[in-house]
Structure 1
Amino acid sequence: MLPASSLAAMSSSSPVIALKEMVSRLQRETSKIQELLASLSFALRSFNNLNQFFELIPLISCRVTEAEAAALVLFRADGQARLEQLHCHASDQCPNIRAALETATRTLANSVGIMTTDPHGDRPRLEHVLDQQLQDRLPAGIQFYGTTILVKDTNLSERGRLYVFSQQPTYEWTETRQQLLQVIADQTAVAIANDEMALKLRDRQRLDRELEIGAEIQRRLLPRHCPKIQGLDLAAACRTASWVGGDYYDFIPITYGLADSQDISQGRWGIAIGDVMGKGVPAGLIMTMTRGMLRAEALNGHRPSRILQHLNRAMKADLESSHRFVTLFYSEYNPQTRVLAFSNAAHLPPLLWRAETGTVQRLDTYGMLIGLDERTQYQQVEVRLQPGDTVVFYTDGITEADNPKGDRFEEARLAAVLERACAKGLDAQALLDYIFAAVIDFIGVEGRISDDMTLIVMRVMD
């Protein structure tokens, strides 16, 4: 036998050894938990596939809370739920837990719908309904605990529920375990939010690419440069407020009745400017449709008023269904006679500066918007131009441009700018630049271009 002194020494040292072992065990448990949470954080930073990240959630939840099973349930926007992942660790109740979860999630939407039909009740939280459904379906002896996955978007929204299960009678849902499960739920919420932001970014990039392609197509449909028309100096430009605009202008060679040996610049030319109500892709599509139909009509040799009438009848149904309309000014210039014949479908009338008198007049006729009323009749007027005369075609982005005070550029100011520019003897391109500069100066550095701006300058040379 050991001496009494040795027994006394051993007896006195046992609590110390037990305490050291307890501290060592706690350190190992803490280290294990830290490693698991670190692994989860690494996965959050590294995984591009959200499903791969979801596979880790129940596994780590089991380990850090010492539960026998854990499940991740996600909510959908329509109030339904889906069992995303289930992990069972040494539990013979796994089939029963899975069956209870699948049944509870499947009936969640109906339960929420029934409960919200009560006019005297408030809309129940999805987590409370799901917990009750799960409680009713789990076998006796299985306890479960859960925490909600909340994602911050416009506000805090429930995106799912994270559960742990245990059938051990001595299992306690301690504050530490609650905190650990909440940490995992928060990491899951971050992963969901990151995935949604990445999806929105990809959608935005795809949309930007589509808009870029649409803008490129539209740029190609607009004239790349002004044609050479006998006796005319031309300049034109379109500045869109967004990727794709609704403004339209065109120069159409009318070869109908032109001799094969005759230079195309000596023949008649259609000059058009239009504006589709609205901006963006829908307006751009309608503009493209208008361009194709207008060219087809012009090449058939119809006079301007008849062309607008045909367009109005042909486009009425499509424009009405899209709740958009088109303003269009179409003119035909004959270089041999210097006669400009025109018809207007409610577009802003071009301004004609007469070199002989130094005055400005409007070129306008009666006519309704394209697509408003198929019975509309369009008038046609002819004006003979003289050397030095200048015609400016424009869209409402010019006259409706506003400055920070709320004042608009308006037609009167455009006419005054035109008079000053023409008095300087500027050519067509310099005159166009002069007008655009005046509009930009009026808007100011704090202003912005809120609508497409299109200009055509036609100057009759001496």
Structure 2
Amino acid sequence: MIAINLATCFLAVLGTFLAVFEWTAAKRREFLYLYMTTERPDSEYFHSARHRRRQFAIMLFSFILLTCKEIYANSVLYRPTALMQLDWHPLSSVSPLLLYTELVSVLFLGLAFLMGPRRLYTRLQKWFNYQLIGITVVFALLVMTRQVTDVFPTFYRVYLGVVVIAIIAGTCRGKAESRLPQSLAFALLAVGVFGNTILFHRIATFAALFLFNTLLLQNIMEQYEEVEFDRHRMHRERQVVVSFLETMGNAYSTVFDLPQVLRMIMESSLKATGATSGAIFLKDSSGKLQAKLSRGFFPPMYDNTEPEYRARRTELLQTRMLEQQFNMSEGVIGQVARTGEPMLIMDVRKAGVMSDKVTEFMRNRSMVLVPLTIQDEVLGVMAVLNRETAIAFDEDDQGILQSLADHAAFAIRNAAMVAELAQKERLDRELQIAHQIQQQLLPRECPQLPGFDLAALGEAALEVGGDYYDFFWINDRRLGIVVADVSGKGIPAAMTMAIIRSIFRSQSREERSARDVITATNSVIFPDLRRDMFVTAFYGILDVNARTLAWCRAGHEPVIAVQSEGGLQVIAPSGAALGIADESVFDDIIVEQQIYLAPGDSVLIYTDGITEAMNSSGEEFGIDRLKATMASNGCPDGASIIAKVERAVHSFVGSAPQHDDMTMVLVRAR
């Protein structure tokens, strides 16, 4: 009996030391994944290491309870003078507190051995909490009612038997090689209880602890092998990442554009995984994944069509592959991009990703696909195919490729930002040049006419706008006036504006009316103007001697005339915009209007940037406010009227940004 007690106590202490060793190793492994590797904190490796540390922390606590119980039992209950008398005494003679401690330690051991699969941990934790609370409440009630000595040993037997049966049932879900030892160890605990004698109980406890320590030693050996494997994997992974970063760092001193970055990423990926081919798909502005690069022979996916010319088979298949694009939910490319999880395919032919016709010569048909992500934003997908050796890709290759992809995503984003900045700088230079050209095309100043006062304003929403105005002499008494608005903004609108300006000037000959000039202008530009562009225009002829203004309105804003006799009028003769209708339709729509300008009369020609100017509430300035401003002009000259309208518009808009060009021309008779 003495030998069994001492051996049982020794096994409990040994189990405690083994659990401490396991817990320390698991803790180091967790910190290793967190601080010493390129693993992400949300990776499966990191979560598994943390879960294992929790598992052995629970196991350590259970062995500490068993050790304390054994030391107390050997020093107090099993004194040498009383051992022979207690050998065959019933189990009820043992202290209920020791039985309670043993029951709690068995619960902790069961939780530790059953929480192998991480997904079961939450449910097991709830089950364990309920059991622990239950036996504690029962023990406390029996102590308070002073029935613990009589009742608790019986409760201990029955309850431990039920718990052990549940634990044994749970161990059947664990590893096959550890099911029998675990089940046998817990069964021995139950058998020892139902043996009804202390000697039988001690022998069963000794055998159970022996099995538990054997399992711990076996687990230590397995953990050592796993750590060595992980160390090799992390060393290889670190070499790949460091080599890639060195390559990218050296490239910053040379030309660094997106195609070059993609080539370096793919070369590093093929070298790291030993693949013969690979491809990179990036998400475009429409949200689709477009093939941007391929290396080696990477056939098109989900395409069974055989090329027409066998001699150019490889070239045609590669061209077809680079034309492929996938939605975020289409094929394996879309699945990896949507889920953000890597994918390992052992045989692309059996998986239906590639056909037999394009894979028959490959040594193996395995493929690894990994997402290119930055802060949960998916930039694209990288895939490698057909390893050089006959061995297929494995999870080790998948992990290495994912680590490289995490760093590659930053390089892709940086290259894209560099390209965007370069394009913006180039566009800014082009806009600056176009702005200078546009300013040279606009009149430097308004003509000085006897009996008339001309004023103009032109403010572009962008550096180069689509609005323009122009004055030019047709003969010594007739002045041509043009105010036009080209659809769109930027350089295309400015170039169209320059063309329209030249056409109006070339078509304005001495005897032509305003209607003749504007119809001829439409006939010239209609065949060549892009279908998504049009031009609204006002073309007028001011006869200085006759004091008349004749004009046509090609889809342009109405003219506001303030006359001493007729008051304020909004005049809008019919007419279609330039470039949207051919000569036969346009000529039937356009109408010429003419008014006489007495001293004090004025005419305002403007673009829709004036009436459609919006404030921060989304409300437009509108023609009514423009009419009210013109009706109360009281200004001595045309420049003062233009300035007053400009102030009214800016006061209404406030701090809201300018969305459209604003152009005005005022003709005032003196």
**Other-structure match for 1:273:** 483
The normalised TM-score by structure 1 is 0.69
Are 1:219 and 2:439 counterparts? yes
Per the alignment, do residues 162 and 436 of structure 1 end up closer, same or farther by CA in structure 2, a change over 3 Å counting? Answer: farther
8 A contact 1:271–1:333 mirrored in 2: yes
**Other-structure match for 2:48:** none
**Other-structure match for 1:38:** 242
Matches of 2:526 and 2:533 in 1, distance apart? 10
How far off is 1:295 after superposition? 0.8
Structure 2 unaligned regions, length at least 5 = 1-226, 283-288, 308-328, 334-342
Alignment partner for residue 383 of structure 1, among 588, 595, 603? 595
How far off is 1:27 after superposition? 9.2
Matches of 1:109 and 1:429 in 2, distance apart? 69
**Other-structure match for 1:417:** 629
**Other-structure match for 1:242:** 462
**Other-structure match for 2:326:** none
Higher CA-based Rg: 2
8 A contact 1:80–1:109 mirrored in 2: no
**Other-structure match for 1:339:** 548
Deviations 1:274-314 (A, max 9, x none): 22344444443433332211111213441212212322333
How far off is 1:270 after superposition? 0.9
How far off is 1:242 after superposition? 2.8
**Other-structure match for 1:73:** 278
Q: Secondary structure at the match of 1:418?
A: helix
Matches of 1:172 and 1:278 in 2, distance apart? 53
Per the alignment, do residues 346 and 137 of structure 1 end up closer, same or farther by CA in structure 2, a change over 3 Å counting? Answer: closer
**Other-structure match for 2:536:** 327
Per the alignment, do residues 111 and 232 of structure 1 end up closer, same or farther by CA in structure 2, a change over 3 Å counting? Answer: same
Matches of 2:576 and 2:290 in 1, distance apart? 50
Alignment partner for residue 473 of structure 2, among 244, 253, 264? 253
Matches of 2:436 and 2:404 in 1, distance apart? 48
**Other-structure match for 1:440:** 650
Letter in 2 for 1:124: G
How far off is 1:337 after superposition? 3.4
Matches of 2:603 and 2:366 in 1, distance apart? 81
Matches of 2:454 and 2:607 in 1, distance apart? 17
Deviations 1:57-86 (A, max 9, x none): 444x26xxxxxx4556124578769653xx
Are 1:365 and 2:569 counterparts? no
8 A contact 2:612–2:621 mirrored in 1: yes
How far off is 1:435 after superposition? 0.9
How far off is 1:398 after superposition? 0.7
Matches of 2:558 and 2:466 in 1, distance apart? 18
Per the alignment, do residues 174 and 370 of structure 1 end up closer, same or farther by CA in structure 2, a change over 3 Å counting? Answer: closer
How far off is 1:251 after superposition? 0.3
Size of the alignment, in residue pairs? 387
**Other-structure match for 2:382:** 159
How far off is 1:394 after superposition? 0.6
Per the alignment, do residues 81 and 458 of structure 1 end up closer, same or farther by CA in structure 2, a change over 3 Å counting? Answer: closer
**Other-structure match for 2:71:** none
Matches of 1:384 and 1:124 in 2, distance apart? 73
Are 1:312 and 2:532 counterparts? no
- More contact order relative to length (CA 8 Å, sep ≥ 6): 1
8 A contact 2:387–2:393 mirrored in 1: no
**Other-structure match for 1:453:** 662
**Other-structure match for 1:188:** 408
Matches of 2:415 and 2:552 in 1, distance apart? 55
Per the alignment, do residues 290 and 376 of structure 1 end up closer, same or farther by CA in structure 2, a change over 3 Å counting? Answer: farther
Are 1:110 and 2:336 counterparts? no
How far off is 1:36 after superposition? 5.6
Matches of 1:272 and 1:200 in 2, distance apart? 38
How far off is 1:456 after superposition? 1.0
Letter in 2 for 1:43: T
Matches of 1:188 and 1:225 in 2, distance apart? 57
How far off is 1:333 after superposition? 1.6
| Percent of pairs with identical residues | 28
8 A contact 1:269–1:334 mirrored in 2: yes
Per the alignment, do residues 54 and 323 of structure 1 end up closer, same or farther by CA in structure 2, a change over 3 Å counting? Answer: closer
8 A contact 1:306–1:378 mirrored in 2: no
Q: Which structure shows the bigger proportion of residues in helix conformation? A: 2
**Other-structure match for 1:148:** 370
Letter in 2 for 1:73: G
Are 1:348 and 2:568 counterparts? no
Matches of 2:249 and 2:491 in 1, distance apart? 37
Q: Secondary structure at the match of 1:458?
A: strand
Q: Secondary structure at the match of 1:310?
A: helix
Matches of 2:543 and 2:608 in 1, distance apart? 27
Per the alignment, do residues 426 and 182 of structure 1 end up closer, same or farther by CA in structure 2, a change over 3 Å counting? Answer: same
How far off is 1:391 after superposition? 2.1
Q: Which structure shows the bigger proportion of residues in strand conformation? A: 1
How far off is 1:438 after superposition? 0.8
8 A contact 1:304–1:330 mirrored in 2: yes
Letter in 2 for 1:110: D
Per the alignment, do residues 437 and 163 of structure 1 end up closer, same or farther by CA in structure 2, a change over 3 Å counting? Answer: farther
Per the alignment, do residues 38 and 324 of structure 1 end up closer, same or farther by CA in structure 2, a change over 3 Å counting? Answer: closer
Q: Secondary structure at the match of 1:225?
A: coil
Q: Secondary structure at the match of 1:274?
A: strand
How far off is 1:35 after superposition? 6.0
How far off is 1:454 after superposition? 0.5
8 A contact 1:57–1:188 mirrored in 2: no
Alignment partner for residue 398 of structure 1, among 610, 613, 616? 610
Deviations 1:423-451 (A, max 9, x none): 1x243223212211211211222x23222
How far off is 1:232 after superposition? 2.8
Deviations 1:382-408 (A, max 9, x none): 333233332221111111222233432
Alignment partner for residue 229 of structure 1, among 424, 437, 449? 449
Structure 1 unaligned regions, length at least 5 = 1-22, 63-68, 85-100, 115-121, 259-266
How far off is 1:269 after superposition? 0.9
Matches of 1:229 and 1:112 in 2, distance apart? 75
Matches of 2:516 and 2:568 in 1, distance apart? 28
Matches of 1:143 and 1:327 in 2, distance apart? 62
Matches of 1:130 and 1:173 in 2, distance apart? 12
